[in-house]
A and B are shown apart, each in its own frame.
Chain A
């Protein structure tokens, strides 16, 4: 097992695990944990931005990186070391799954890898980088970790194109079956897609750094944010992209997870006031910013990941409600939407909400409302917290009165009723009165007030794993 089966002229092979792992770490810091053997896996330790990290990588030069007993033991050893040392662990994947020749022994070994990943879940950050096909057992490996990064050549599937063809008759290639497009946009299996291997490994470095050393809040160093208030359109029904708002909020551009899947909600990891935070934001550009089954599930998983890893949350709310429709109900918007209620309610990390424009109905509750235990709830001037928008409420509450009015008076009456509705039930006044909004703040001091609120809250970390919801 100690003799290297790799010939000297294969050193430049892109599938060689050592250069792949070296690209992850600070130069010259990589030390082997497992021997350079024919197990199909290499595990190492090293430093990323000066902090210790453990990583393992498939050796795709051997049987397509297939996983056998010894290779799986290297992975389990790497993960258990990371748990003991409380440091991040990164898996680099290029593997066709369990070694067929080893039979059920290999299946047992792959199962032990899964069990190790679940032991580590919520205790240390686990990041996967998929650079080639990751099939069968090698598909569920990445899927059990916190974050999956896929390069342009990465593929993830349970059964490959040939099996699909022979069983279902569907003609499909590996890319369409399990490449960056289906998994980045449709399935939600992959969190980050990149244009090549080098940028996939660079993203994993960035994520390991964000999750591996959080830093400390220093609210005193937070400058005013004059640009924050200028991004939202004047008209309340106008769509806009929330991503520039997230960018302006963070110290530097963060890493957006699941950017193309369920794009009506944005989930980004980044630094805020010097500390790693998770940002969750409704995106009015997509589906009007409505919550739906997929976006609630996406946000719920993100909230639970951040909570289990001790990452505080900032929640930007501009939501007209839950998306109506037969498709949504049959898609389980009730069951999947409940995940977000559960995730926020159980979260113990500091979590601050900012209502930028509107928060209506059930979606108001779901977006880290006071009732679910928000650390602080801020709102911008002119924002609205209500069961529904004032004009929609007037149309329902005063339907008879409006119908009875003379046609020429109707619009004036409607405007007057809307104004009354805003006074009594709309706007943010009532929410302030009953304490579900703590404070109305100007956009310019938003960063500082959020930083103060997060820094003042006792730091805590949820005692649970991060099941891939």
Chain B
């Protein structure tokens, strides 16, 4: 299952918890964003491998910005 994972909201990138090449299952946390005083996990939508992580800790992302690519 390949796919681009994009931010659903404007937020700060608080933690990157995955790496390119990591095998992940549906529902695993890839990145944790921070917005509205809440930690907001960005989850894998399907089982797969992380091909690319497009953000760094401290980045600001807008809705629709690329966060990771899964293959």
Q: A residues touching B (Cβ–Cβ < 8 Å)?
A: 237-239, 284-290, 320-321, 323-325, 327, 389, 391-392
Query: Which residues of the partner chain A approach B64 to less than 8 Å between Cβ atoms?
Result: 327
Q: Chain A: interface secondary structure?
A: loop
Question: Which chain B residues in 19-43 approach chain A with CB under 8 Å?
Answer: 35-41, 43
For the A-B complex, the count of residue pairs with Cβ-Cβ distances under 8 Å equals: 40
Residues of B within 8 A of A286 (CB): 8
State which of A289, A324, A325 has its C-beta within 8 Å of the C-beta of B38: A289
Q: How far is the CA of A183 from the CA of B40 in the complex (A)?
A: 25
Q: Please list the residues of chain B having a beta carbon within 8 angstroms of any beta carbon in chain A.
A: 8-10, 35-41, 43, 63-64
> Does B38 contact A237, Cβ atoms closer than 8 Å?
yes
Could you tell me the distance between the alpha carbons of A288 and B41 in the complex, rounded to whole angstroms?
8
Evaluate contact between A287 and B10: CB separation under 8 angstroms. Answer: no
Asked whether A287 lies within 8 Å of B9 as measured between CB atoms, the reply is yes
Contacts of A290 in B (CB 8 A): 9, 36
Task: Knowing A325-B9, A325-B10, A327-B63 are in contact, say whether A284-B37 is a contact too (CB < 8 A).
Answer: no
Contact partner, A325, options B39, B41, B63, Cβ 8 Å: B63
Name which residue of chain B comes closest to A391, CB basis.
B37
Some 12 contacts from A to B, beta carbons below 8 A apart, are A237-B37, A239-B40, A239-B41, A287-B8, A287-B9, A288-B35, A320-B37, A321-B36, A324-B36, A325-B9, A327-B64, A391-B37
List, in ascending order, chain A residues with CB within 8 A of B39's CB.
Answer: 237-239, 288
Contacts of A285 in B (CB 8 A): 41, 43
A285: min CB distance to chain B, Å: 7
Complex contact A320–B10 (CB within 8 A) = no
Report the bound CA distance from A431 to B11 in whole Å: 30
Complex-state Cα separation, A234 to B35, whole angstroms: 19
Interchain CB contact under 8 A, B63 and A320: no
How far apart are the CA atoms of A286 and B36 in the complex, in Å? 12
Q: How far is the CA of A389 from the CA of B36 in the complex (A)?
A: 10
Given A325-B63, A327-B63, the answer on whether A389 and B37 have CB atoms closer than 8 Å is yes
A288 contact set on B, CB distance < 8 A: 9, 35-36, 38-40
Q: Residues of A contacting B37 with CB < 8 Å?
A: 237, 320, 389, 391-392
List residues of chain B with CB within 8 A of the CB of A321. 36
Q: Are B36 and A320 in contact (CB under 8 A)?
A: yes
Residues of B contacting A327 with CB < 8 Å?
Answer: 63-64
The complex places the Cα of A239 from the Cα of B64 at a distance, in Å, of 21
A-B contacts besides A239-B40, A239-B41, A324-B36, 4 pairs, CB < 8 Å: A285-B41, A285-B43, A288-B36, A288-B40
Q: Name the residue among A290, A321, A391 with the largest chain B CB count within 10 angstroms.
A: A290
Bound together, the chains give a CA A320 to CA B8 distance in angstroms of: 16
